[in-house]
Amino acid sequence: MRSVAEAQKCVLEQVRPLPPVTARLDAPPLGLVLAEDIISDVDMPPFTKALMDGYAIRASSLSGGMSELTVVEEITAGKWPVCGIGPGEAAQIMTGAPLPEGADAVVMRERSQTLEGNRVRLEDAAIRPGSNVMPRGREMRRGDVVLKCGTRIRPQEAGLLATVGRTAFQVHPAPRVAILSTGDEVVEPTATPRPGQIRNGNGSMLVAQVCRAGGVPRYLGIAGDRVEALRPRIVEGLGDDVLILSGGVSAGKLDLVPQVLADLGMRALFHKVSMKPGKPVLFGVRSRQTGDDPPHLVFGLPGNPVSAMVCFELFVRPALRALMALPPGPPFVQASLAEDFAYRTDRPTYHPARLWSTEGRWLVQPVPWFGSPDLRAVAAANAFVVFPEGDHRHGAGETFPVLCVEDRE
Ligand code: AMP
Ligand code: MG
C-alpha cells in the first residue's frame, strides 16, 4: 500500500495550474495568482511632490536655520504650480501637491509663522534639499515590472494594479469543485433521520473545506448506492475541475463508486493509502474533452467524516493550491507532545489534536477521540498529530509531525 507521501506526490504529478482567465478590479480576485507581469504606465509619483502641508522653498534660503520669505503662490493637491521659486521665496503647499520649479524642500506648517503682507517666518535648522519631498519616479518608473507573474493578490496588490491602471488582468482561476455525497442511509441536513439514517455531515464540511482552500464549491447533493443514482450525478460532477465524492469507496457490497467512475472513463491512480483514518481513499483523473488542458481530478473520500476531512487536507487541498499556481504549502509542523500519551495503532494515524505555540515552540495535545466517525472530537481540535504504527508510550516532549488544518497565513 502507498504511503501518504507517495500518494501526495502522485496527486501533484497530475496537476498543472488552470489556464489563465481575465479578472477585473471591481471584484478583486483575492488570493488568486497573477498569470502575467504587470508593467507600470506611469512614474510614481508622477511629479516631485510635497509630503507635508507647509512651505515649498529652496533649502539654501534657510541656511541659517531661520528666515523670513515672500509667499508667491498657494498650491493645493491637484493644482499645477504657475510660479517658480527663487531665493527668499516660498509657496504655500499641501500634501500631495506638485513642488514648484526652483523649490527643493518643504518646511512643515508647524514650523511657520505668517507675517504681514504675504510674508512668512520659517524656522527649521534640519532642512536639506529633499526634506519632506518625494521625487518623481521614486516609487516606480513607467515601464517597471511592478508585480511579477506568480504574485498572489492581496489588498496591496489590488491597490497597485489600480495605481498603474490595470483594471483587467490575467490570473489562474479558482478551481470549480463538485461535491457529491453517496449512501442510501444519508439524508439532507434539513431532514429528520428515520431508523437507519444519518444526516449528510460531509457535504457541508467539504463545501467549507473547499472554500477555505480557495476553491469554488458546487454541492451536488446525495446519491443512493445504485448505479442509476450515482451515474448521472457523477457525470454532472465531472464537468468541474475537481470532483469530490464521499462514501462508497470501501470494500462493502454497495461500494459502487470506483466501478461507476471507471465506466465513465476515470483512470484510477491509487485506491487505498496506508493511513488511519482514510485508508480506502481513491484518486483518479479523466482527460478533458478540449485540447491539452489539465485533466479533471477525482477524489473518492471514505464516508466516515474524520476520514473525509483528513483525506481532503492531505490530498485535495494541495491539489487545489497547485491548480491555482500556489505552492502546495507546508501544512506540517514539528511539535512537542505536551503530556505523555500511550497509543496503539496498526497504521500511521492522524489523531485530532490541539496545536499551540509558546516561546517559539510548537506544542501538541491529542484530544479524546473515538475514531473515524467521531467528528465531534474534531471540533475541539485545530490539527492532527501523526503517530507512527505500533504500541507506544510517547513521552511528553517527544516531537511529532502535526498536520495543521487552520489557516496560518
Ligand atoms: P462508506 O465509506 O460509504 O462505507 O461510509 C462509511 C461510514 O461513513 C458509514 O458509517 C456511513 O454511514 C458514514 N457516512 C457516509 N457518508 C456520510 C456523510 N455524507 N456524512 C456523514 N457520514 C457519512
Ligand atoms: Mg456508503
pLDDT in tens, 103-139: 999 999 999 999 999 999 999 999 999 999 999 999 9
**Could you tell me the pLDDT band of residue 173, with boundaries at 50, 70 and 90?**
very high
d(CA 153, CA 34): 7
Helical ranges in 179-270 per DSSP H: 201-213, 227-237, 257-263
d(CA 301, CA 151): 32
Express each pLDDT in 186-230 by its tens digit: 999 999 999 999 999 999 999 999 999 999 999 999 999 999 999
Q: What pLDDT was estimated at residue 407?
A: 64
Mean pLDDT for the stretch of residues 307-313:
98
For the chain, the maximum distance between any two Cα atoms, rounded to a whole number of angstroms, is 99
Q: What pLDDT was estimated at residue 93?
A: 98
Please report which ligand is nearest the Cα atom of 219.
Answer: 1
d(CA 123, CA 110): 9
| Interior/surface letters 143-174, b for 16+ CB within 10 angstroms, e for the rest | eeebbeeebbbeeebeebbeebebeebbbbbb
Q: Whose CA is nearest to atom 16 of ligand 1?
A: 303
Report the separation in Å between the CA atom of 207 and the middle of ligand 2, taken as the mean of its atom positions: 19
**Could you tell me the pLDDT band of residue 296, with boundaries at 50, 70 and 90?**
very high
Q: Whose CA is nearest to atom 17 of ligand 1?
A: 303
Report the separation in Å between the CA atom of 184 and the middle of ligand 2, taken as the mean of its atom positions: 7
Q: Which atom of ligand 1 is nearest to the CA of 222?
A: 19
Report the separation in Å between the CA atom of 316 and the middle of ligand 2, taken as the mean of its atom positions: 20
Handedness of CA 221, 224, 225, 231 (dihedral sign): negative
Mean pLDDT for the stretch of residues 82-86:
96
Q: What pLDDT was estimated at residue 289?
A: 76
**Could you tell me the pLDDT band of residue 238, with boundaries at 50, 70 and 90?**
very high
Is pLDDT at 300 greater than 70 in this prediction? yes
Is pLDDT at 293 greater than 90 in this prediction? no
Q: What is the mean pLDDT of the chain?
A: 97
Q: What pLDDT was estimated at residue 228?
A: 98
- To test the pocket of ligand 1, the residue of 180, 182, 202 to mutate (highest count of ligand atoms within 8 Å of its CB) is 202
Is pLDDT at 409 greater than 70 in this prediction? no
Please report which ligand is nearest the Cα atom of 246.
Answer: 1
Q: Whose CA is nearest to atom 11 of ligand 1?
A: 303
Please report which ligand is nearest the Cα atom of 251.
Answer: 1
Q: Whose CA is nearest to atom 10 of ligand 1?
A: 304
High-pLDDT (> 90) share of the chain, % = 96
Q: Whose CA is nearest to atom 6 of ligand 1?
A: 303
**Ligand 1 pocket by Cβ (under 6 Å):** 181, 183, 185-186, 198, 200-203, 246-248, 250, 252, 302-305
Express each pLDDT in 67-77 by its tens digit: 999 999 999 99
Mean pLDDT for the stretch of residues 369-383:
98
Nearest to 282 by CA among 291, 269, 295, 292: 269
Lookup: cell for 21: 482567465
Q: What pLDDT was estimated at residue 329?
A: 75
Is pLDDT at 51 greater than 80 in this prediction? yes
Q: What pLDDT was estimated at residue 290?
A: 74
Mean pLDDT for the stretch of residues 279-287:
97
